[in-house]
Amino acid sequence: MTHEEIKSCCADAYSRDIVAMLLGDSYHPGGTALTRRLADRLALAQGMRVLDVASGRGTTALLLADAYGVRADGIDYAPANTALAQGAAEATGLADQVVFTTGDAEHLPYDNAVFDAVVCECALCTFPDKARAAAEFARVLKPGGRLGIADVTADTDRLPPELRGLSARIGCIADARPLGAYAEILTFAGLRTLTTERHDEAMIRMIDQVQARLDLLRITAPDRLADAGFDLDAAPAVLDAARAAVTDGVLGYALLTAVKSHPDGPGVLPPGT
């Protein structure tokens, strides 16, 4: 598949109500608790301008605006998510602090050096051109601005067959990278890593939650699962494989913060990074 086709598949999947039912409001391990932890590591404060990349239905951007007093922009590839997020901003009285836009993380529609911080949760792992996305993060950050990443980590050479392919990529696994590889990508974009934290237990909790929600939906809404293309026969093996991969150190979840420290622009990553 082309890069654009991969992006469209991911956007389509994450704009479906059934996916929200399985993953919960935050769409990522650790939920809002880890979002707050990441925001604290970034030292967000009132009046800052923050960009949430792959903002989904707006949970993170709205939280940051409400709890930290920032001005938040959210960008997502799926127009349906943008519309739902903007509606949520209006419903919660935060429309004057939060704006959502449909767009591509690899081609951000913002001027250079306009954001105090950029946040990207459980999404860099799905971007086909991670180096380009990282360069865009750096471009829109002010000098000294900070980036917060929360993402799935993976030793891709050790992934079992159940955790490879397009479905696993959409599920934030097949094209995830080791924590050190993410840091390297950011370094070449002119972003110096400040802190890293492992939260692998959050992956186990989310796998267990998805399993429980899937079991409930099998009983209450089997037609919706079928219509969404879920392979109910294969799902238990995939979830078991993911759980085992976390236990074996093949999969994990991590927070990473970085600062824009190279104003002259990005370096050049080796091909295929």
Has residue 70 got a pLDDT over 90? Answer: yes
Counting the structural domains of the chain, the total is: 1
- The verdict on residue 236 lying in a domain is yes
Structural domain includes residue 272: no
The verdict on residue 181 lying in a domain is yes
Distances (CA, A) of 158 to 155, 220, 235, 246: 6, 36, 20, 11
Q: How far apart are CA 182 and CA 269, in angstroms?
A: 12
Q: Can you give the pTM of this predicted structure?
A: 0.89
User: Would you say residue 243 lies in a domain?
Assistant: yes
Considering the domain boundaries, does residue 222 fall inside one? yes
Domain of 219 in residue numbering reads as 3-260
Summarize pLDDT for 76-109 with one digit per residue, the tens: 999 999 999 999 999 999 999 999 999 999 999 9
Q: How far apart are CA 185 and CA 101, in angstroms?
A: 25
222-233 in b/e form (b: 16+ CB < 10 A) is: eeebeebebeee
CATH code of the domain containing 71: 3.40.50.150
Q: Does 21 reside within a domain?
A: yes
- Please indicate, yes or no, if residue 269 is contained in any of the structural domains: no
Is 104 contained in some domain?
A: yes
Measured at the CA of 19, the angle between CA 55 and CA 78, to 5 degrees, comes to 40
What tens digit of pLDDT does each residue of 229-273 get? Answer: 666 667 788 889 999 999 999 999 999 999 998 555 444 344 444
